[in-house]
Amino acid sequence: MVSKAASDAPSQASQPSGAEAAPGPGASSGAGSGKYLTSSVAGAAKILVVGPLGVGKTTLIGTVSEIKPLSTEAVMTQAGARVDTVVADGKTTTTVALDFGRMTIDGELVLYLFGTPGQQRFLPAWRDLAKGSLGALALVDTRDLEASFDALGNLEELGLPFAVAVNVFPGSPQYGADDLRAALDLLPDTPVVACDARDPASSVRALIALVSHLIDVATETP
């Protein structure tokens, strides 16, 4: 399921310029927390982080990344109001291309995290971003479940296995697992976890749930 670190994933030399060592969740994930991969790394996986506008994709990647994350934030202006979803909670910027970060699990498996833009008009960009990815973490906000339908539908269209992480905001309604699965029309084996995208331990747990699922999918007998 995972490829050798040097093969299909960006090498250190090809990481975004300006990427520097940053205090990441290395301790919590058991990973090296520096700029370079440790020699114990045996494999790599490209992972998408998807979800609707403002669900916390950029936040989660920034929270877990061992390197300074690449982000492509642009100010949302009136010019986009006719085509873009406007958010009322004071959010002033949005991702316009991608987010990129790196996280190592147990010193052995490096995840290259690619965050997709949340605005609807960027959905076509997914096809390019999804190339070579093994799976996706789909962030969901229970205050607006419908907003997640496009992202989840896109993953199904692409045939990409995924786990759902409910990013809990203040005042988010809490649904039982069965209700949430039914509302999002999930397959029975799709993992659903709760997380706080600002918290390293909880964000790492969500990514580990995804990786476990990807291993199950890869090893299940036809």
Contact footprint for Mg ion (CB under 5 A): 57-58, 95
Residue 25 corresponds to which tokens in the numbers above?
A: 């969740």
101 binds ligand GTP (CB under 6 A): no
- Give the residue, chosen from 4, 121, 127, 198, that forms a contact with ligand GTP under the rule CB under 6 A: 198
196 binds ligand GTP (CB under 6 A): yes
**For residues 58 and 202, which CB has a smaller minimum distance to Mg ion in the complex?**
58
Between strands 99-105 and 109-115, the pairing is antiparallel
**For residues 169 and 181, which CB has a smaller minimum distance to ligand GTP in the complex?**
169
**If residue 214 lies in a helix (H) or strand (E), which one and from where to where?**
helix 200-219
**For residues 44 and 47, which CB has a smaller minimum distance to ligand GTP in the complex?**
47
59 binds ligand GTP (CB under 6 A): yes
Residue 66 CB, shortest distance to ligand GTP, in Å, is 18
**For residues 109 and 129, which CB has a smaller minimum distance to ligand GTP in the complex?**
129
**For residues 91 and 121, which CB has a smaller minimum distance to ligand GTP in the complex?**
91
Residue 191 corresponds to which tokens in the numbers above?
A: 């993992």
Between strands 135-140 and 109-115, the pairing is unpaired
Give me the DSSP letters along 109-140.
EEEEEEEPP-SGGGTTHHHHHHTT--EEEEEE
d(C-alpha 135, C-alpha 14), whole Å: 22
The four Cα atoms 41, 69, 130, 124 give a dihedral, to 10 degrees, of 180
Contact between residue 132 and residue 108 where contact means Cβ atoms under 8 Å apart? no
Contact partner, 54, from ligand GTP, Mg ion, none, Cβ < 5-8 Å per class: ligand GTP
Residue 126 CB, shortest distance to ligand GTP, in Å, is 13
Determine the interface stretch with ligand GTP among 20-28, 57-65, 184-192, 204-212 (rule: CB under 6 A).
Answer: 57-65
Question: Which of 58, 52, 46, 83 shows the shortest CA–CA distance to 152?
Answer: 52
48 binds ligand GTP (CB under 6 A): no
AA identity, residue 204 = V
102 binds ligand GTP (CB under 6 A): no
**If residue 78 lies in a helix (H) or strand (E), which one and from where to where?**
none
118 binds ligand GTP (CB under 6 A): yes
Contact between residue 90 and residue 100 where contact means Cβ atoms under 8 Å apart? no
- Give the residue, chosen from 54, 101, 191, 200, that forms a contact with ligand GTP under the rule CB under 6 A: 54
56 binds ligand GTP (CB under 6 A): yes
* Chain residues that interact with ligand GTP, rule: CB under 6 A: 51, 53-59, 91, 94-95, 117-118, 167, 169-170, 196-198
